[in-house]
Amino acid sequence: MVNMSSTTNQRTLLSKMATGDGHGENSPYFDGWKAYDNNPFHLTQNPQGVIQMGLAENQLSFELIEQWVLNNPQASICTAQGLQEFKDTAIFQDYHGLPEFRYAVANFMGKVRGNRVTFNPDRIVMSGGATGAHEMIAFCLADPGDAFLVPTPYYPGFDRDLRWRTGVQLIPVVCESENNFRITRSALEEAYERAQEDNIRVKGLLITNPSNPLGTILDRETLVSLVSFINEKNIHLVCDEIYAATVFSQPAFVSIAEVIEQENVSCNRDLIHIVYSLSKDMGFPGFRVGIVYSYNDAVVNCARKMSSFGLVSTQTQHLIASMLSDDEFVDTFIVESAKRLARRYTTFTRGLAQVNIGCLKSNGGLFIWMDLRRLLKEKTFEAEMALWRVIINEVKLNVSPGASFHCSEPGWFRVCFANMDDLTMQVALRRIITFALQNKEAAVLPAIKRQCWQNNLGRLSLSFRRFDDFTMSPMSPHSPIQSPLVRAT
């Protein structure tokens, strides 16, 4: 017999955090992952399964990493060649991190930014991935009830990373499609004033550059404007730059570290902080290598003490230090990774454009911001969720709806394209294209003919044989379509 009071007892016995839903797991963003976990696609074993396009993971250059590991067995303490380092690596290490690790990461951060800026290894503070880094910086900068301004749309995990255990609030800065979701001074001022009216103390502005989910980068002029804003308000600027090396075409990525060194920029550097990791640029999310780089000495000291709760293992530090110290490998990897991301982006967006599916023009990240507004039955978030459920349950693609990114307009979806092989990508594109064509025909064909059309899908003028040849052929890394939305002509 079920004890009807068990829920009440749990709430009495456990903390509010343990019994609450502050993690944010009950959202479409995570529900899509569950749908994939319950029915994962496999080319041969489960070809009708759900394809994972909700995971921003970079697997396009992984064999370069694997080849380096094979060529450098001494980098691992778990090989005969690396055994001599086993004891010194396995015994106690303090929370500062291995000196060679901090130096290698600082050097890599500079390389990723074109060596236009240098980073001080003594300011490198490690954490358990970018998740831990964001929480760490929130603990250092804000008290429970304080807030950060965050331009929309933004990564759903921020609701967990910055809010769940810290008690910090996130206040959206509404950005809109009419200007390609750019951050404007007026939108910042509006969000700040709204917080003031609600008696909420704003402690900082959090930006992602390149953007997740937009895949766009912030230009130098915008970054200068943001620095001016936070200086005037005397609030912090936290810059998430974890996608810095995923920029695959012009314009080039500009780091906040470059901007604050400009002669014409007046800046209190104590307000500037960078969050970085190797999860996206190198494709190492499982290694949990997160970094806080702050220009504020007090923040560095506090964060380093807090890092005791989420250290990177010394075994991982040892391997990463060895790999990132190989300048020839790093230089080759950065260039080749960008080429492959550009090719995949171009292939994917051109495939969508063939059926008039647009996306925000972007040049960074591991995803596109897909525009399905014309497929909505009405311009509401309820209609967006209905469309998303069809895509998950019938098209069998895990894409993430814009609502889960706090987008202000329904009909946008984030689609990740770098976490799968070429053949899986072709299957995913086929499914999207077929779905788009079905919806187009459904709008013009009488119901009596609709089923007949679906049964003869293979007779469509778009030949999938020719489509396969198209998607596998070499392509220019730059899309020839120059409008903000990539569309078929």
Burial class (CB in 10 A: 0-12, 13-18, 19+), 193: exposed
DSSP of 35-92:
HHHHSB-BTTTBTTSBEE-S-----TTHHHHHHHHHH-GGGSTTSTTTGGGHHHHHS-
Lookup: tokens for 229: 């804003």
Helix (H, G, I), strand (E, B) or coil at 9: helix
* Residue 280 among the catalytic residues: yes
Catalytic residue among 183, 230, 260, 280: 280
Question: If we measure between CA atoms, which residue out of 116, 124, 152 comes closest to residue 244?
Answer: 116
* Residue 36 among the catalytic residues: no
Catalytic residue among 31, 240, 281, 371: 240
* Residue 240 among the catalytic residues: yes
Per DSSP, 388 falls in state H
Phi/psi class of residue 215: alpha, beta or left (left: φ > 0; alpha: ψ in -120 to 50)? left
Helix (H, G, I), strand (E, B) or coil at 477: coil
* Residue 200 among the catalytic residues: no
Answer for the pair 52, 361: CB distance below 8 angstroms, yes or no.
no
Catalytic residue among 154, 155, 276, 293: 155
Task: Report the relative pairing of strands 236-240 and 147-151 from DSSP bridges.
Answer: unpaired
Question: If we measure between CA atoms, which residue out of 83, 102, 118, 56 comes closest to residue 418?
Answer: 56
Catalytic residue among 217, 230, 242, 368: 242
Helix (H, G, I), strand (E, B) or coil at 207: strand
Catalytically annotated residues: 155, 240, 242, 280
